[in-house]
Each structure stands twice: as structure tokens, then as C-alpha cells.
Amino acid sequence: MDESTRTETIHRLKSVAGHINGIIRMLEEERYCIDVITQIQAAQTALSRASENILDAHLRTCVTDAIQNDDADERERVLAEVMQVFRHTNKP
């Protein structure tokens, strides 16, 4: 992963941590349920974007290298990892 993607993803995850702390405070303060849910959804969106950044970097580096490599076993392993991520993401 390049430095710019790493830095952006770390920033996004720190923002998620702030969201989570805010959500905890909101619950402790007995804030309106819909407001809490809205903040939870914002945190989930930020996490999804962080995941997308990491996946994009992985596809552009590790997966591309594996596909261009002569090692068929390594190529299959990397492709299987990507498929596993999508299976996990799409579970009901």
C-alpha cells in the first residue's frame, strides 16, 4: 500500500474512532434514538470507505503482482483471498 493510501486510511479510521466515542457519549446522555442511529450509520460508512481503500490498494499491488507472476499457486491463493472477502461482505 502506498504512503498516501495508508495515511488517508489511518485518518479515516481515527475519524471512525471519534464517531464511536461520540456514539457512546450519546447513549450515556440518553440522546434521541434516531440521532444515535444516524451516527452509527456514519461510522459504518467511514469503515466501508476505509475497507474500499485497502482493497483497492491490494488489487493494484499484491493481486496485480500475483497475476503477473509465473507462480500459479500464488496467483490462485491471492484470488481466493479476494473472493473470500466478497463472500464475507455479502453474507446476509
- C-alpha 86/C-alpha 84 separation (Å) is 5
Q: Is the pLDDT reported for residue 24 higher than 70?
A: yes
Q: Could you read off the pLDDT of 77-91 as tens digits, one per residue?
A: 999 998 998 887 777
Mean pLDDT confidence for 11-32 = 96
* pLDDT at residue 92, rounded to an integer: 63
* pLDDT at residue 89, rounded to an integer: 73
Dig out the grid coordinates for 82 from the structure: 479476494
Amino acid at 41: Q
* pLDDT at residue 58, rounded to an integer: 92
In sequence order, which residues have a C-beta less than 8 Å from that of residue 69 and are 6 or more positions away? 75
- Domain count for the chain, please give it: 1
Residue 51 is part of a domain; what is its CATH number? 1.20.58.1000
In sequence order, which residues have a C-beta less than 8 Å from that of residue 19 and are 6 or more positions away? 39, 42, 43, 46
pTM of this structure? 0.80
Q: How many CA atoms lie within 13 A of 46 on its CB side?
A: 19
